[in-house]
Amino acid sequence: MNITRRSLIKKVSGLVALSAVLPQLVNAEERRRPRGGSDAAKSGAAAGPLSWPLVDPNGPTGKAVNYVKAHADLKDAKLKTERQGLAFDAQFCNNCSFYKEVGTKDGGKVGSCTIFANQLVGEKAWCTSWNKKA
């Protein structure tokens, strides 16, 4: 079997690319699956978004985007900046383009967010992925 340097480099680079993408695909599939709870929750959307858990600020995705349940919880002053012409004090999940209100949970309005699959965010929460709603 004769393998050229060029074909070897192509195959190795393909494997490296695959190894970078594969864990993300696995994590995306895990986020799509409902977590714990009743049989209705385990069966998927039958239980509805209000059965989803609230985002954990200390979870991997929460930490990655500096998610906080309230502005007062944000400690890093460098992140408290104006974005898209809106002062930090006016940036909340409920005025972010990724947010869609779904109802009330634990005494507060909550919504789904495209950043956090199958999890809920509070209307007054915030993260660095905040994007002004058009």
Task: Give the predicted TM-score (pTM) of the model.
Answer: 0.65
For 31, list phi and psi in degrees, rounded to 5.
-70, -25
**Per-residue pLDDT reduced to its tens digit, 102-133:** 999 989 999 999 999 999 999 999 999 999 99
Distances (CA, A) of 47 to 20, 43, 101, 102, 103: 34, 8, 16, 13, 14
Among 9-13, 31-35, 75-79, top mean pLDDT goes to: 75-79
The domain 48-134: what is its CATH number?
4.10.490.10
Query: Helix, strand, or coil here: 39?
Result: helix
What is the spatial distance between Cα 134 and Cα 132, in angstroms, rounded to a whole number?
6
Q: How far apart are the first and last CA of the chain?
A: 59
**Per-residue pLDDT reduced to its tens digit, 72-107:** 899 999 999 999 999 999 999 999 999 999 999 989
